[in-house]
Every structure is written in C-alpha cells, then in structure tokens.
Structure 1
Amino acid sequence: MRQCIILMAIVAFRGLTPANAQQAEVTRIKALMEQQTKAWNEGNLAGFMDTYWVSDSLMFIGKKGITYGWQATLDNYKKSYPDKTAMGHLSFNLLEFKKLAADVYFVIGKWHLARTIGDLSGHFTIVLRKINGQWKIIADHSS
C-alpha cells in the first residue's frame, strides 16, 4: 500500500519538474510574441505595445540609440510605421530562450517585415520579466 501511495505521488508531481516549468514559461513567452505579431499584422500598434512594460524605465535600443519609456517607444513606432503599407506583415523566428532568473528571460530572434514598399529584416534581443503574473518586454534591442 505504501509503495502505491509513493508511486501515485511521483506520477502526480512528475509534471512539476523544473524542465517542464521552464518549458511552460517558454510556451507563454511564445504566445506573447504571437500576440505581438497578430496585433502588428492587424495594424494595431497599441495592441502590439501591450506586450511591453508600461513604464518610463522600458528601454528600446534601435539604430537611433536608446529610447526610454513606453509612450516614447509607441510614438517612435507611430513615426516609423504610420500606416499599414509601412507596417507590412511581421514574422518572427525565435532562436534562443535563456532563463536568467525565475522571473526573467532573455530571448534572441529574427524579425522580418514583408512589405510592398520593400522588405525589412534584422535580429532582436529582448529581456522579459514576469510582472503581476504576466510576461512583459522590459528591454528590446532590434537591429
């Protein structure tokens, strides 16, 4: 009887291994990135920005340097991509996921914009932090 209880406990807790917990977080981050591309491809910059930390401490690093803050980042996106033609169709290729802490991930990927006015592409690194139970991008370096 005791062996049966131990076996049942092992089976019950098998799904809670650190590797499975980490995979669950990676799955959540992938879903966040899918949410981001869906919003972008609908022409919804505000929805795209829902994945970012709403804070003056948000950092976006691009070819023009560092932009601090959620609103300033959104304003830059609006200037650079004023309409659906400029926005095109966004896709990501997520290459690496590195867990830095229980609530912090570092992600490396490629981005591609298919546009009638000429495609754009590059790489990005993002730092995500779990804030109030949700993953948010706290730093984005896109080139």
Structure 2
Amino acid sequence: MKKLITSFLLLLITCICLKAQDKQAIVKLMHDQQTAWSKGDLEGFMQGYWKSDSLMFIGKRGPTYGWQQTLENYKKGYPDKAAMGKLTFRIDKVELLSKQDAFVMGAWSLAREKDAPGGYFTLWFRKINGEWKIVCDHTS
C-alpha cells in the first residue's frame, strides 16, 4: 500500500511540475513577443504565432486568417517603431485545458509619444511540435 501511495504522489508531483513548465513557457513566449514589439521587430513578435494559413486573428474589423495576412495587417497598422510604441502585457489567467491546449486572458497597453492605447485579449495556445504557439487571438 505504501508503494502505491508513493507512486501516486510522485505521479501527482510530476504532473504539477509539467503544468508549471508549460505555463512558464507560455508566459516566456509572451514576454519575448513584448520585447520584440517594443524593439520594432514585427517578424520577431510574430514568432509566437502558429505559422499557418489556419491561424485566426479576431480584431475590431473581424477575423483574419493566416500568419502572413496577420503580419501584413500589423505592418499596415503599425508602420514604424513610433507607431508600435512600447508594449506591455498584463496576464490575468493562464489555464491549461489539456496537454496541448491552453487559454490565456489579459490586457495589453502601448506607451507612445502622443497616446497610450490599450485593450484586452484572449488567446488559444496549442503545443505544436513541442512548442506553444498562438492559434487564435481575439484582441480588442
């Protein structure tokens, strides 16, 4: 009986540690995005997204499909470093839904010379080839 309880506890601890590692990986990805954006590096920022035609981005103009189209929309909306400003994320929730899916909710803000826009986001992350990537982004 002691071996059974010990085995169960080890399995439980392992699961908790793996969940913590996945959450840390997601938070790191978002930190890397924040850093790239604030440097004016849209290509670097986009590395957090699934590079697929099935990527979905939902903004104020409705859904956009595809990694490349999402990048092009960002380039139009934020043509230079001044327009991009300094990005800050506030992560309110990271919930692992399964071994390969996660939900993230939070807020974003930009610090720019003449204004400070901001809003909220919900993100669906999926673990693809061992890496967490955003597969759906709803930002307002």
CA RMSD of aligned residues (A): 1.8
Paired position in structure 2 for 1:77 = 74
Contact 2:108 2:118 in 1 (8 A): yes
Aligned residues: 136
Q: 1:91 aligns with which of 85, 88, 104?
A: 88
More displaced stretch, 95-104 vs 85-94: 95-104
CA distance in 1, matches of 2:11, 2:61: 48
TM-score, normalised relative to structure 2: 0.91
The aligned amino acid for 1:28 is A
TM-superposition CA deviations, 1:84-128 (whole Å, max 9, x none) = 111000000100111111100000011000111211100000000
Paired position in structure 2 for 1:115 = 112
TM-superposition CA deviations, 1:55-110 (whole Å, max 9, x none) = 00000000000000000000000000000111000000100111111100000011
Kindly name which structure, 1 or 2, has the bigger radius of gyration based on alpha carbons: 1
CA distance in 2, matches of 1:106, 1:15: 22
The aligned amino acid for 2:67 is W
Unaligned runs of 5+ in 1: none
Unaligned runs of 5+ in 2: none
Secondary structure (helix, strand or coil) at the match of 2:89 reads: strand
- Structure 1 position 35, deviation (Å): 0.7
The structure 1 segments of at least 4 consecutive aligned residues displaced by more than 3 Å after TM superposition are: 13-16
TM-score, normalised relative to structure 1: 0.89
Q: 1:102 aligns with which of 99, 104, 108?
A: 99
Paired position in structure 2 for 1:18 = 15
CA distance in 1, matches of 2:84, 2:46: 14
- Structure 1 position 17, deviation (Å): 2.6
The aligned amino acid for 2:16 is A
Q: 2:60 aligns with which of 58, 63, 70?
A: 63
1:37 aligns to 2:34 (yes or no): yes
